[in-house]
Amino acid sequence: MKYRRLGHTDLEISVVALGTWVFGGDCWGEVDDEISVSVVHKAIDSGINMIDTAPIYGSGRSESVIGRAIKGKRQNVVIATKCGLKGAGASIKVDLSAGFIRKDIEASLKRLDVETIDLYQCHWPDEKTPFEETFGELQKLIKEGKIRYIGVSNFDKDLLTKALGIAPVVSDQMQYSLFDRSIEKDLMPACSEKNVSVLAYGPLGGGILSGKYKKPPQIPKTSVKSFFYKFYREPFWSKGKELVAVLEEIAAARGKAVSECAINWVLSHSEVASCIVGCRTPEQVRMNAPDADWELSPEELGRIQEKYENIFGS
């Protein structure tokens, strides 16, 4: 496993982080907590030291599972969780008010059974709460020793710049893959200039970039894949499969998994500190933790880019 510095911090994080939305069971179908614990243990044994979660994942279930799994292993992991989302009936509301952040952090610390959270991230932007209130409260949490560093998630360039004017934000967690490159134009250059790390979620394009789907799967309406990813619908599906075919050729020639090629492509961008990959089983951890001894060659990266431009345009 390789490691990269998180922003301007002293944290060296694995280039693959364990995403744990699936542990909550709410949008991904039922899961077994014992298997989830074994996934965390397998990740740590594989050199993955960053675990990303959020209170909204299963209404705290994901955090509670992680708390169980890291007992006796706290020194081996960087814990990243979030704040600012709450269930409101069948919907979700954003609340980055000081009062709600305070409730969120206390509940997360208890569920995770830790004294300090390494990276505390605003889950989504809140249009109603002043940034001064949100980021002022987060800086108080640093002074109190409840969190070490502040991150954001789903903040575009303008929102990130505004946040940086108030607090020392070290990361921005964004969707980024060969299927969704929208952050390359504005956000990534800004992150590079300001020494803010990109944490890439969805690097496997909802699983399609792993090469496991030969035809569009039947996805239940209750599944997150039905509303969070557009890649399963035409015309994107057919175009996406052409791109996957190139990854399959490279993977076969290299003796690697297709998922490793997709993750490797994301990591070829220096702004990215880590890819957040969700794993339901220990076997998925093994498949998605890339071999530290290889990288896509310039020729392979060129082939991928050429096919991308032929399919989607430059």
Is residue 51 domain-resident? Answer: yes
Residue 141 — φ and ψ, nearest 5°? Answer: -65, -35
The answer to whether position 247 is within a domain reads no
106 belongs to a structural domain: yes
In a domain, 54, yes or no: yes
CATH of residue 82: 3.20.20.100
The pLDDT of residue 141 is 98
CB neighbours of 308 closer than 8 A, spacing ≥ 6?
178, 243
pLDDT at 150 (0 to 100): 98
CA distance 196 to 163: 12
* DSSP class per residue in 102-127: HHHHHHHHHHHT-S-EEEEEE-S--S
Q: DSSP H helical segments within 9-95, as ranges?
A: 33-45, 61-69
One pLDDT digit (tens) per residue for the chain, 314 residues: 999 999 999 999 999 999 999 999 887 778 999 999 999 999 999 999 999 999 999 999 999 999 999 999 999 999 999 999 998 666 899 999 999 999 999 999 999 999 999 999 999 999 999 999 999 999 999 999 999 999 999 999 999 999 999 999 999 999 999 999 999 999 999 999 999 999 999 999 988 999 988 888 777 666 666 566 778 888 889 999 999 999 999 999 999 999 999 999 999 999 999 999 999 999 999 888 766 678 999 999 999 999 999 999 86
Residue with the two structure tokens 């996957």: 244
In this prediction, residue 96 carries a pLDDT of 98
Residue 177's domain comprises: 3-208+269-289
157 close to 126: Cβ distance less than 8 angstroms: no
For residue 297, is it within any domain? no
Instruction: Report yes or no on 252 lying in a domain.
Output: no
Residues 93-129, buried b or exposed e (16+ Cβ, 10 A)? ebbbbeebbeebbeebbebbebebbbbbbbbbbbeeb
Q: Where are the alpha helices (DSSP H) in the chain?
A: 33-45, 61-69, 98-112, 131-143, 157-164, 187-194, 225-228, 236-254, 258-267, 282-288, 298-312
Rounded to whole angstroms, the Cα distance separating 133 from 84 reads 13
For residues 129 and 96, the answer to whether their CB atoms sit within 8 Å is: yes
Separation of first and last alpha carbons in the chain? 32
Q: Is there a domain that residue 262 lies in?
A: no
Query: Is there a contact between 117 and 4 (Cβ–Cβ < 8 Å)?
Result: no
Residue 215 backbone dihedrals phi, psi, to 5 degrees: -145, 160
Domain count of the fold of the chain: 1
DSSP annotation of 24: G
Q: What is the pLDDT of residue 70?
A: 98
pLDDT attached to residue 227: 64
Active site residues: 57
How, if at all, do strands 3-5 and 12-14 pair?
Answer: antiparallel
Q: 274 in a domain, yes or no? A: yes
